[in-house]
Structure 1
Amino acid sequence: MDLHALFAGVIFAVFGLTLSLKDIDQAGFEQKVTSYIKAGMDCRNNPGLSLSVVKDGKILLAKGFGHKTLDRLEPVTNETIFGIASLSKAFAATLILKQIEENDSLSLSTQVRDILGRDDIFKDYLRSRYTTLEDLLAHRLGIPSNNNIRLDDTLTRKTFVDRLKFLSPKGGFRTSFYYSNLMYGLVTYISELIGGKSWENLVKEKIFDPLDMTSSTFVTTADLKNLENFAVGYQDRYGTLVPVPAEFSRRWGLLCGSGCVLSNALDMANWMIFHLNNGLNSKNVRVLDPDILDDAHKAQNSISYASIGKYYTRPLTPVTLSHSNYGLGWKLGHYRGFPIITHTGSTYGYRAMVTLIPGINAGFFTTLTGDDPSYFFRTNGHLYMADLLLGHEPWLDNVTVCSFPEPWKKKSDKPDAKPRTDIAADKPLSKYEGLFSNNAYGIIEIYLNDSSGFLMAKVGFGQFVLYPKSTADTFYAQGFDLLQNVRDFSTFQFSFKNEEVDILKIPSFESKDPPVFNRIQRKASDGTERPKRSNVACGKYRMNIFWYSMIILIIVIF
């Protein structure tokens, strides 16, 4: 008996064997991955999917599945453009790092107040005085997400900064992990101040072009209706797929560094190679200093709770997957003992994920349209492909791709229930009308639609139909017009004083710090002039006290 062969076989069976690119049966790898993905798509409601795998600086696989749209059934290819949502955060972090490399006066320790030239950025002195670029990129502010500020149609990247001082911290500064799209919106604006150009132009110039990401673009600037080879985003609405309006996606993507990048499997392969290759592009040309790029891949904050811990921990499952730390635009963890660098992205109509395993010089990218509850399809696909490259027999297969988390854990996801529309309000609907203001979120108009008889809410560029709930003076807000089948809110709560409505509270805007809107005018839909918003709430209606004073002085003199 050949003891060396026996020993090698034992090592392979027990520990796995990482494979080099030349050792991989690429046709066999593609066949297995294709079979797994198709099995998953057969049991899920995802119209289109695209993926790429890189190994040792080369593209091992780049392939599309399903269809770009449901009306024309055109096939997805490895060049089809998808939204990649929060994978954009790594682009925002990399851009900042590139700007630091180019500017000796900047570092990750540079204080935000020095860049913005102001001391009133946040609600408290501590954060306003000491917050650094690193704090923003590592989610160390302790401020709840307040993501729905983005609905306000008066918001710009510049005026957005004025809103931050009205958001209350709920976690410790530099001692908590509060994931925040808004802080990456601030990073977006900071890059524009440093670079003197739009964030989109800076990313194209300093990242897309050097990495030969020739098809990548932005939801904020692309003409989505005419964009060639574009996958339309779909929402799963009570089991029915509905397209997400392009105009909604454009408006929602305003704070670009948090989630506005559009890309495809081939371009994202180049992006992964850049990170695995220590800042070199696919042609081995230096794009970013490796020591500077390494800061993005180091632990900068601890993730106190990761949802994957419920499903991917031994002895519950055969292996453990962890996300224990956050770098700069990346989550850090382990799979089968190998360090991983990863991030997911979820937005209206799209789901995405990148996983890098530097120890075997491999990376995986997946993007899809439709929903992916609990990240199962994306995550398990990456684990399946990783096992193949690690030399392990995958513990997931064409059956468990559909049944997961069973047989290891009972499924707990319940289908969304449609809101009731047959409950009568406690008061005449006209009693709830008025304009309601919050310094951070802006103005909400509540009005009675005379033609339909429904109580409506206008929230920035979105409109909602308000359906009474069983709890007194509480309504379910169902998306209407641009937000129809895209976004609902479960709870709008009204409070009354002296039989007049005076407060609107919306816990479903931000559960950790529900915003309160005070009524500032009884009714505005009847043609009466609406009050002008404050500098902070709107950033658009500014009263220059100096010039008013001068006019009054001239009148008095003459």
Structure 2
Amino acid sequence: MKHKTSRRSLDIFRIGLVGLMLPLTLSSTAQTPLRWTSSPSGSEATATSGSGAASMAPRVSPTQPQPYRTSLPGQNIQPLAAGFDVRAFETMAEHLTVGQRVPGLAMAIVHNGRVLSARGYGVTDVVNPQPVDSHTVFRLASLSKAFASTLAGLMVQDGSLRWDSKVNQFVPGFQLRDPNATSHVTVADVLSHSVGLQAHNAFDRDIEANAEYYDVARKLAYAPLKCAPGDCYAYQNVAFSLIGDVVFAASGTFYDQAVDRRIFKPLGMNDASMGLAGIEGSTRWARPHVRSRNGWVSLTPKPTYYRLPPAAGVNASASDLAQWLIAQTGHRPDVLPAPLLATLHSPVVNTPGEMRGGWRRERIHSASYALGWRVFDYAGQQVVFHAGAVQGYRGLVALVPGQDFGVALVWNSDSSLPSGLLPTILDRAMGLPGQPWVETPADYDLLLAESPDGTPATDRKDSGTSSQRATASPR
């Protein structure tokens, strides 16, 4: 009954949205051809966070997305380091679920367009345990942002959008505190968190309090501004989700339907879905878990951030994520051409605050945000990355273009413990000295006690019930 009610509510919402957006759709002019051009130059931007209007004149910025390139750097692909053995990481993933350190986990690893591993570990629900397998669906949280930028890129490719299309041309109700800033926010600004807002995660508390997206989006008109659009970074969920409105206005197709038609189905992501109804309607899905004094407690997924589909609406399995990694590493040019991927993965705005504790402090030499992706200099290698977190779910994705390599991890709890597995895998792929990123002796010993041919040792002990937290945060 809950599933039917959710779908009925969604239908009512969509009918109302059609009425709201139809005049805009009918009046939209033809879009410009696929070509990046800088906005006209203007005076230097100045901003105030008070109630007075700030001067937000745009300027030509070197941090705008680069022009489409002809190819990905395929000629310079380096092999994985000697001794890289995916079985070791599968064993480590299994260890992370022993003794319910985390209830369930799914991992996908790809290399050179091939799936090396796509498996599940642990259970879907500690109350009614079913094994997690390669088709068990997890909530992706902010890993969803790369789907939004990819969809926008496909629309840029077909000419229905431009990266420098102005958001208010598609969403007339969109307003910032300064009218001049409002008129200059572009699609690329939204997708790179460069709208100009002063606060990170503006109005997320309203979303957490169960507010509707459109009610909260109107509050952007009162949010303090820090800079001109395109000139500075502040991570957003509400403002980022404006891209869903742009997609509808430019295509006449609802955002979730467009993602399904243009990404999920062509890539063979057969378990993937959007929203609360999507995950609850899955054949097998992992329930979220939070920690209590008596151990893990399973919950019903919160609907809150599902109300922001571009920011946090996607659900997917290990099998789906393997296909997503293959496409994002350039092996599905029929769906995602190499020039599009090069644009999506190109740094747009610097994010030095991302070089913080744990493995990032040790490994990241520079950090930027691209379009729906982060870009790190990871010990001299470019890594395209994103993390996601909502109540009871965490996830990490990383691409290493220089090695044609990708890895994705998702798990159904608030634990940060599995996040140390990602840098462990990246270190081994790059041949870097091992670090105990996963703070459990058995898992670290697994990497140290290998035979010369890379076969994991069999005499290790399993610490089983360790409750230590990984040094890396999933955010």
Fold-level similarity (TM above 0.5) = yes
* Alignment match of 1:327 (pick from 370, 376, 394): 370
**What is the CA distance between 1:388 and its match in structure 2?**
3.0
Corresponding residue SS for 2:175: coil
Give the distance between the partners of 2:117 and 2:289, measured in 1 at CA: 25
Partner of residue 346, structure 1: 389
Aligned to 2:207: 150
Residue of structure 1 in register with 2:113 after alignment: 57
- Residue in 1 aligned with 2:334? 286
2:288 aligns with one of 222, 225, 233? 233
Structure 2 residue 358 is matched with structure 1 residue 311: yes
Match of 2:122 among 58, 63, 66: 66
Q: Deviations over 1:379-403 (max 9, x none)?
A: x212222233334553337755799
Paired residue type of 2:137: I
1:131 maps onto 2:185 in alignment: yes
Summarize the alignment of residues 264-279 of structure 1 with structure 2, pairs less than 5 Å apart.
264-277=317-330
**Larger CA Rg, structure 1 vs 2:** 1
Amino acid at match of 1:34: E
The offset of 1:42, in angstroms, is: 4.2
Look up the match of 1:384: 424
- 1:88 and 2:144 aligned: yes
Cα deviation code 1:51-75 (max 9, x no counterpart): 0100000001111111011122211
Counterpart for residue 73 of structure 2: none
Alpha-carbon shift at residue 135 of structure 1 (Å): 0.7
CA distance in 1 between partners of 2:97 and 2:166 (Å): 47
The structure showing larger relative contact order (alpha-carbon pairs under 8 Å, at least 6 residues apart) is 2
Deviates more, 1:108-117 or 1:172-181: 172-181
SS at match of 1:52: strand
Alignment check: 8 A CA contact 2:375 2:383 kept: yes
- Residues 387 and 395 of structure 2 are in contact (CA less than 8 Å); yes or no, is this contact kept in structure 1? yes
- For 1:493-512, list aligned pairs within 5 A: none
CA–CA distance in 1 between the matches of 2:138 and 2:366? Answer: 25
Aligned-pair CA distance for 1:113:
1.5
Provide Cα deviations, 1:523-551, integer angstroms capped at 9, x if missing partner: xxxxxxxxxxxxxxxxxxxxxxxxxxxxx
How far apart, CA to CA, are the structure 2 residues paired with 1:377 and 1:358? 23
The structure-2 alpha-carbon separation of the partners of 1:413 and 1:401, relative to structure 1 and needing over 3 Å to count, comes to: closer
Q: Could you say what secondary structure the match of 2:240 adopts?
A: helix
Name the CA distance, whole Å, in 2 between partners of 1:79 and 1:186. 31
Counterparts of residues 38-437 of structure 1 (less than 5 Å): 38-42=94-98, 45-103=101-159, 106-117=161-172, 121-143=175-197, 144=199, 145=201, 146-151=203-208, 155-157=212-214, 160-170=216-226, 173-222=229-278, 224=280, 226-237=281-292, 240-246=295-301, 249-277=302-330, 280-281=331-332, 285-306=333-354, 308-312=355-359, 320-322=363-365, 324-373=367-416, 377-378=418-419, 380-392=420-432, 394-396=434-436, 400=440
**Cα distance in 2 for residues equivalent to 1:269 and 1:113:** 36
Residue identity (%) = 21
The secondary structure found in structure 1 opposite 2:335 is: coil
Q: How far did residue 161 of structure 1 move?
A: 4.1
Q: Report the Cα distance in structure 2 between the residues aligned to 1:58 and 1:150, rounded to whole angstroms.
A: 39
Residues 1:239 and 1:357: Cα distance change in structure 2 (over 3 Å):
farther
Of Structure 1 and Structure 2, which has the larger fraction of its residues in strand? 1
The 1:298/1:313 distance shift into structure 2, 3 A limit, reads closer
Give, in whole Å, the separation in 1 of the partners of 2:245 and 2:372.
16
Q: How many residues align?
A: 369
| Gap regions ≥5 residues in structure 1 | 1-16, 405-410, 415-558
SS in 2 for 1:108: coil
Secondary structure of 2:266's aligned partner: coil
1:81-105 C-alpha deviation (Å, 9 max, x unpaired): 000100000001111111111225x
In 2, Cα distance between equivalents of 1:193 and 1:401: 53
Structure 2 distance, partners of 1:239, 1:403, is: 25
Question: For residues 398 and 330 of structure 1, what CA distance do their matches in structure 2 show?
Answer: 24
Q: 8 Å contact 1:121–1:128 — kept in the other structure?
A: yes
| Aligned partners of 1:52 and 1:62 also within 8 Å | yes
Matched, 1:19 2:83: no
State the Cα deviation string for residues 280-319 of structure 1 (Å, max 9, x = none).
42xxx5113322332210111110311x5322377xx5xx
Question: Could you say what secondary structure the match of 2:388 adopts?
Answer: strand
String of CA shifts for 1:181-212, please: whole Å, max 9, x gaps: 01222111211222212211100000011111
For residues 78 and 87 of structure 1, the distance between their equivalents in structure 2, rounded to whole angstroms, comes to 18
Q: Partners in 2 of 1:323 and 1:176 — Cα distance? A: 16
Change over 3 Å in CA distance of 1:313–1:24 after alignment to 2: closer
Q: Secondary structure at the match of 2:356?
A: helix
**Change beyond 3 A, Cα 1:44–1:229:** closer
Query: 1:50 and 1:59, CA in 2 relative to 1: closer, same or farther beyond 3 A?
Result: same
Say if 1:18 and 1:390, in contact at 8 Å, map to a contact too: no
Q: Does the 8 Å contact 2:142/2:387 carry over to 1?
A: yes
Shift of 1:262: 0.3
Distance 1:313 1:215 in 2: 32
* Corresponding residue for residue 505 of structure 1: none
Deviation at 1:377, TM superposition (A): 2.6
Q: Provide TM-score, normalisation by structure 1.
A: 0.61
Question: Which TM-score applies when normalising by structure 2?
Answer: 0.71
Unaligned runs of 5+ in 2: 1-76, 445-467
Give 1:334 shift: 2.0
Distance 1:238 1:191 in 2: 45
